[in-house]
């Protein structure tokens, strides 16, 4: 899990499952900069393993639509069947209406298509987690910190 020092443990956790390491890392960085707690996984099986061993923090799951192995729709159904209460956003690389309909029918709260629009993703997470003001404040503070770090690095080079 990554996050800024001093982040509150009562915040929502955003769980990310994406087998594409570039997308996986980009999502972690974006969410981290927005002040969110992030736990990330490359496979659905790794995520499910954690759910079997530990109680999950409240939050939201971002999951790639085309996962190898168990697959995103089966994952959403299993979470629902096990009573795991997470809002799920399926990330699709296509706007295929069939995939969108299947994901929503399986219990996903939303389907967003790639390439992701940063503002749309963050707005949707704010809506689903219900902590928009806190995310907004943390995003501003963290972007200022990142800018400050960047300015310090330029100065010392």
> Where residue 4 falls among pLDDT bands split at 50, 70, 90?
very low
* Total-model pTM: 0.74
Angle in degrees, CA 64, 70, 74, rounded to 5 = 80
Q: What is the pLDDT of residues 20-32, one digit of tens each?
A: 999 889 999 999 8
User: How many angstroms separate the CA atoms of 31 and 45, rounded?
Assistant: 22
Tell whether domain 13-156 is in CATH 3.40.50.2300: yes
Is the predicted pLDDT of residue 144 greater than 80, yes or no?
no
- Would you put residue 150 in left (φ > 0), alpha (ψ -120 to 50) or beta? alpha
Residue range 70-120, pLDDT digits in tens: 999 999 999 988 888 889 999 988 777 888 888 888 889 999 988 877 788
């Amino acid at each position: 899990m990554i996050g800024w020092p001093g982040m509150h443990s009562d915040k929502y956790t955003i769980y990310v499952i994406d087998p594409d390491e570039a997308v996986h890392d980009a999502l972690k960085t974006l969410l981290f900069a927005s002040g969110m707690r992030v736990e990330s996984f490359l496979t659905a099986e790794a995520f499910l393993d954690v759910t079997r061993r530990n109680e999950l923090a409240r939050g939201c799951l971002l999951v790639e639509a085309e996962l190898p192995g168990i697959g995103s729709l089966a994952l959403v159904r299993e979470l629902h069947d096990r009573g795991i209460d997470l809002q799920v956003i399926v990330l699709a690389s296509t706007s295929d209406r069939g995939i969108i309909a299947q994901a929503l029918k399986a219990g996903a709260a939303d389907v967003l298509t790639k390439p992701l629009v940063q503002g749309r993703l963050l707005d949707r997470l704010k809506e689903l987690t219900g902590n928009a003001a806190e995310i907004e404040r943390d995003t501003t503070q963290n972007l200022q910190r990142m800018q400050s770090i960047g300015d310090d690095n330029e100065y010392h080079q």
